Structure 1
């Protein structure tokens, strides 16, 4: 067993951190790939670069990172409205980076290859139908949302790599302020749906046809919508009785996890958040199980086995982060991790804490077993789930609490996720060693708000996947 542990630690030591320049170069390389997995990696690298720029007060790197986040986020249909708004307000008095010039060459290639034509536009059963002359590919459609503070309108934008056979046109639909379809440039067709209130937009691709639907509950404001504003979770209520979720409160029993500020124990904090999350998800129609519902020790490998036995659709492991007393007042923020063979120096430090409780499992999952149990399709799905959980938690908490920090979505070698046959994510709900975050994590109202945000993230994941 000791030999496996030593080999594992040597493997971790061999992986060094990267400079901002190296991280930017890697992100730009991933961004140029047509692979969706690489696009997710680019998005995460840009997010990490953005966080570094904030810490170092480096506006130049910050702008590069924001441009990357917006570009890759739009390709992945991720809501990057806040980042896009921040980018618009930044000064642009410096020369664009060289990688951007390479991207321009790529855009020229797209211009030449864009051979799809829009043949017809019509309404049917309340849906907008766009018919093209050829079968659409997934990477031809980019969807994102914006909020125009001047006109106070929400804009839902579809960028489609295609061209029109007719001139730009304005479409009419009762209850919608404006819908405009136009040729944005020689190779991009842009559809903009603008409205003074939020809309629920859903779309799907079927061969050469793109279907777009606008939810009636938002198009025609009524008393039901007003009630939904008072209780945000009602907006997300969509009973899905066929979906099974396993929640894993980290540590337990003889393993207290991290001991933080005022001796708060990780195992108790995460158990309380997990119970609140289960309550919310069950009220929304999901089947929910917990690996432990009391202060009990469970081996790491038994947790994913439990999820596999239940036929879970997703596995969410909840933990709290920690650092030494020396850095206790500096380190804070929420992080979400998904399992991958790629490991950053930041992820290694966090993983060492979470893996240390059960050394026997590190022997059980030797390096070969570890690599064999990772499925590439689950990595992509887990990355999406991690992004949605991170967004959901942050959105919910920022409405009620100040200085809620986004520490990003990362890849990490967490043994508790190994062996899961479904998308699995580990959420670090905050630093139990940070004075402010620790007090919040021990507060029941904060726990409920956190659980509500995680539930919204899970709901969003199932709605879009």
Structure 2
């Protein structure tokens, strides 16, 4: 065992020194300028490697460049980079020159302008197409398109998120045979267009300089055939029905997980949510496996072994968070974690809590050395999956419930995810110790809505990857 650990650690050190610092920084800067999400992830990982080198070589200048890159790319990818951001801020404060202070301010204001530099000038119909005109040329990475389906309400939604702002108030538009079209400011930096209908709609769009042109074609005779369609169709046809997904309900058996408000047990809540998610995914045509479908104990390392044996495309572990009674009323929210070494004390605490059931002989330092050898491709894919699951859960729950908190997407050393040969994510569905959130977590309707959001996030991941 010690020999394997040493080998893993040596491989990690070799990988860090396999390329020249300047060449690696130049490559990261090149990826960072790319508009594609995949290259942004490559840049993010390169900057993290540069940061580790800088620490080992005590190179303050290189360290600052790496931190700037990590914060910039991480912010674009919605990754929690607060620890790196804090460290960068401390370095900048230590600088006594006015030039560096002005440069820091210009950087911050530049970031703000990038996110809200485009403004919507007009909306109009042209040859049956909806034309949105902006004051500046649109970039490809400013437009995010995805589809949602609510099987309960039997409603299809086609959503465009554009990184821009409106000059006018939200608007409801009309088009024959389309139930609802709404354009509104979703948040200060995102303009959202939602096309909603009780039947499937063929959507196509293109970007022309400063214009986004959307074509929507309703199914012929939709109003006449609607009743028959609703009776026959349970969910829309999916592009990735052949995918295999393993759902892991955390804890179980002799391991109850966290004991929360009024004695609610984590192992019971997460199994109920996992079963709801299994039901929705199966209804949509996916092949779904459960690491446990009853109250039994499974060692952490055997959970991903099961997923590998089933040749799964995704591994999703469902858990509920917890804090001490002193902080129970303040701590709440949904979090998604992907496997990686973390510098965040918060992420380490959550991981330690979930790792406590692992009784393997490998100690902390052995695990840290093993984590250093993780496949970077799986880390990037898992990060993307975590973002989509987080967005899906929040989107579904906020339609029905108030004060649903986004606690973020974070890297953490969760031992239950180690060994997975596919993208893997641990979802903390909420704090079972928070009185309000705990009541929701044991409510079957809330569990179904949570599962629906996670299912939508899975589909968004497959659609984009």
User: If the TM-score is normalised by the length of the shorter chain, which range does it land in?
Assistant: 0.5 to 0.7
Structure 1 residue 150 corresponds to structure 2 residue 174: no
Does the Cα contact within 8 Å between 1:153 and 1:195 map onto a contact in 2?
Answer: no
- Cα gap change, 1:263 to 1:197, in 2 (>3 Å): closer
Aligned partners of 2:352 and 2:320: how far apart in 1? 13
Does the Cα contact within 8 Å between 1:338 and 1:410 map onto a contact in 2?
Answer: yes
Structure 1 residue 43 corresponds to structure 2 residue 76: yes
Over aligned residues, Cα RMSD in angstroms? 4.7
- Cα gap change, 1:203 to 1:401, in 2 (>3 Å): same
Does the Cα contact within 8 Å between 2:31 and 2:40 map onto a contact in 1?
Answer: no
Does the Cα contact within 8 Å between 1:218 and 1:225 map onto a contact in 2?
Answer: no
Structure 1 residue 355 corresponds to structure 2 residue 355: yes
Aligned partners of 2:423 and 2:194: how far apart in 1? 35
SS in 1 for 2:357: coil
Residue among 99, 110, 135 paired with 2:107: 99
What pairs up with 1:179-194 in 2 under 5 angstroms?
A: none
Aligned partners of 2:30 and 2:228: how far apart in 1? 44
1:444 CA displacement: 1.1
1:153 CA displacement: 5.4
* Counterpart in the other structure of 2:371: 370
* Counterpart in the other structure of 2:241: 241
Does the Cα contact within 8 Å between 2:32 and 2:40 map onto a contact in 1?
Answer: no
Structure 1 residue 442 corresponds to structure 2 residue 442: yes
Aligned partners of 2:220 and 2:390: how far apart in 1? 28
CA deviation vs aligned residue, 1:101-138 (integer Å, no higher than 9, x gap): 677999xxxxxxxxxxxxxxxx9xx9xxxxxxxxxxxx
- Cα gap change, 1:220 to 1:268, in 2 (>3 Å): same
Number of aligned positions between the proteins: 331
- Cα gap change, 1:195 to 1:386, in 2 (>3 Å): closer
Does the Cα contact within 8 Å between 2:340 and 2:371 map onto a contact in 1?
Answer: no
Aligned partners of 2:329 and 2:170: how far apart in 1? 41
SS in 1 for 2:360: helix
Does the Cα contact within 8 Å between 1:299 and 1:361 map onto a contact in 2?
Answer: no
- Cα gap change, 1:355 to 1:30, in 2 (>3 Å): farther
- Cα gap change, 1:201 to 1:346, in 2 (>3 Å): farther
Aligned partners of 2:410 and 2:30: how far apart in 1? 15
1:371 CA displacement: 2.3
- Cα gap change, 1:282 to 1:322, in 2 (>3 Å): same
Does the Cα contact within 8 Å between 2:333 and 2:407 map onto a contact in 1?
Answer: yes
Aligned partners of 1:278 and 1:398: how far apart in 2? 22
Does the Cα contact within 8 Å between 1:316 and 1:427 map onto a contact in 2?
Answer: yes
Aligned partners of 1:361 and 1:203: how far apart in 2? 55
1:43 CA displacement: 3.5
- Cα gap change, 1:216 to 1:104, in 2 (>3 Å): closer
Does the Cα contact within 8 Å between 2:78 and 2:409 map onto a contact in 1?
Answer: no
Report the more deviating stretch, 359-368 or 275-284. 359-368
- Cα gap change, 1:105 to 1:409, in 2 (>3 Å): closer
What pairs up with 1:19-168 in 2 under 5 angstroms?
A: 34=34, 35-37=39-41, 38=44, 41-43=74-76, 97-100=105-108, 141-144=141-144, 145-146=161-162, 150=169, 152=171
Does the Cα contact within 8 Å between 1:343 and 1:413 map onto a contact in 2?
Answer: no
Does the Cα contact within 8 Å between 2:78 and 2:387 map onto a contact in 1?
Answer: no
Does the Cα contact within 8 Å between 2:244 and 2:314 map onto a contact in 1?
Answer: yes
1:225 CA displacement: 7.8
Does the Cα contact within 8 Å between 1:253 and 1:295 map onto a contact in 2?
Answer: yes
What pairs up with 1:217-256 in 2 under 5 angstroms?
A: 217=218, 222=223, 237-238=237-238, 240-256=240-256
1:240 CA displacement: 3.1
- TM-score normalised by structure 2 residue count: 0.60
1:370 CA displacement: 2.5
**Ranges in structure 1 where 5+ consecutive residues have no aligned partner:** 3-28, 53-60, 62-94, 107-122, 127-138, 155-173, 179-191, 206-211
- Cα gap change, 1:346 to 1:30, in 2 (>3 Å): farther
- TM-score normalised by structure 1 residue count: 0.60
